[in-house]
Amino acid sequence: MIITKSTSIKEALAIGKECSKCGNCCSYSSGALFDADIPRIAEFLKITEKALKEEYLEEVEKFNTLRLRPKLIRQKDRPHGRCVFLEDNNHCRIHEVKPTECRIGNCGQDGEKLSIWFRLNYYVNPYDPESIRQWAMYLETNQTISGGNLTDLVPDKERLSKMLNYSELRKK
């Protein structure tokens, strides 16, 4: 299947079912949540949304966008760590309601494209010059999918140029 930035969340979730739940990726990272994930996970754990955020979630910033993800249990301030919901048997404690990024990510042949799809749709903000600058740096050493080039995201070439040369510093 061809995955582009415009691929729908429904299609992305359908492809994401390839994950074999081995728990490897969960032992050094965790997936970002959509807002709708928060009440579902809180209800599953039988705690309030406030308690969920305080006890189990942390902020993650990518491409100048903040999102929430399950806390990582780090050793000695290392940037990576085991997801707080990964159990000793490598099963996800909240598998039935796990975060959207966890449901999309997989190690199948489309896994990398789905990761790019997630970054493009949920982290990269075409209206935020800093987000675009960080995406431009990312593209220097990484590939993207259709719809994810700089000129796709910011078709106005003059505006794109101002963003990239720091003439436009912040969101308007």
- Per CB under 6 A, residues contacting ligand SF4 are 19-26, 30-31, 70, 83, 85-86, 92, 94, 98-99, 102, 105-107
Return the DSSP state at 165: T
> Which of residues 15 and 132 has its CB atom nearest to ligand SF4 in the complex?
15
End-to-end CA distance of the chain: 36
| Nearest distance, CB of residue 139 and ligand SF4, angstroms | 24
Virtual torsion, Cα 98, 104, 106, 111, nearest 10 deg: -160
> Which of residues 31 and 129 has its CB atom nearest to ligand SF4 in the complex?
31
> Which of residues 115 and 125 has its CB atom nearest to ligand SF4 in the complex?
115
Q: Kindly give the pairing relationship between strand 57-62 and strand 65-70.
A: antiparallel
Residue type, 126: P
Residue-wise DSSP of 22-69? --TGGGT--PPPPTTHHHHHHHHHTS-HHHHHHHHEEEEEETTEEEEE
| Nearest distance, CB of residue 44 and ligand SF4, angstroms | 11
| Nearest distance, CB of residue 87 and ligand SF4, angstroms | 8
> Which of residues 26 and 120 has its CB atom nearest to ligand SF4 in the complex?
26
| Nearest distance, CB of residue 84 and ligand SF4, angstroms | 7
CA 68-10-112 angle, 5° bins: 65
> Which of residues 92 and 153 has its CB atom nearest to ligand SF4 in the complex?
92
| Nearest distance, CB of residue 156 and ligand SF4, angstroms | 37
